[in-house]
Structures are given as C-alpha cells and as structure tokens.
Amino acid sequence: DVQLVESGGGSVQDGGSLRLSCRYSGYFYLRSCIGWFRQVPGMEREGVAIIDGDGFPTYGDSVKGRFTIPKGNGKLTLSLQMDSLKPEDTAVYYCAASYRDLRTRYRLLSSNYNYWGQGTQVTVS
C-alpha cells in the first residue's frame, strides 16, 4: 500500500522560509504524479507544486517564484522549499500522489490524486 508522511511544518515570520519533506513508500506507477497541496478551513484543497514521472514541475500561480521542488531529492523523499512566505500561505500542507499520469492542465486538481499524507501545519505571521 502507498504511504505518504509529511514533516517540516511549523511557524515562521512573514518573509521567512521553510522546507517540507514527504517520505513515500509502496508501489508507484512510473508515470505517477506526486506533490503538494494545501488547505485552509472552509476552502478547497489547492494545488501547490507537482512533479510528473520525468521530474517536470508544475506550480500553482500563487506560489510561482517562491516555492520550488528541489532537484536531487533523496530516495523516496520529496521536498518543498518555501521562500518569501506570506501570511496567506498559512495552511495545512499535504503530500499527495496519483496512480496514473496526468496531463499538465489536471495536475493541480486534488480530485485526481489517490493517496494522501496526514498533513503538516504551516503558519506564517
């Protein structure tokens, strides 16, 4: 079974940085997409950053230029480097994976993901 476990959340000041990590295990289709979503209470889950089976990233408009999925992630680990954080980045961040390849236009839609971690809180003040 696929398991995803996030870590690295916490509190940071406006303009600061944080790095999240997701350790994943289980069987993954080679073309699976994996990445990060976030959610605040009362809002839908928002796609933040996704990589496809070739490691090509897709970023949400609200984080472009500030968040990156670093290359050279450790084996079975996916990171999210968050710089220039803003209070509106405050949310629970989830690691997620699909069990199939996704066209770019669909990669930031949470309904296309089948496996989810438990989430980690990020608070920016």
Contact indicator for 19, 120 with CB cutoff of 8 Å: no
Q: How does pLDDT run across 93-119, given as a tens digit for each residue?
A: 999 999 888 999 999 999 999 999 999
| Amino acid 2: pLDDT | 85
pLDDT in tens, 53-101: 888 999 999 999 999 998 766 678 899 999 999 999 999 999 999 988 8
Is the pLDDT score of 30 beyond 70? Answer: no
Supply the mean pLDDT for the chain.
Answer: 93
77 C-beta neighbours (distance < 10 Å), count: 12
Amino acid at 57: P
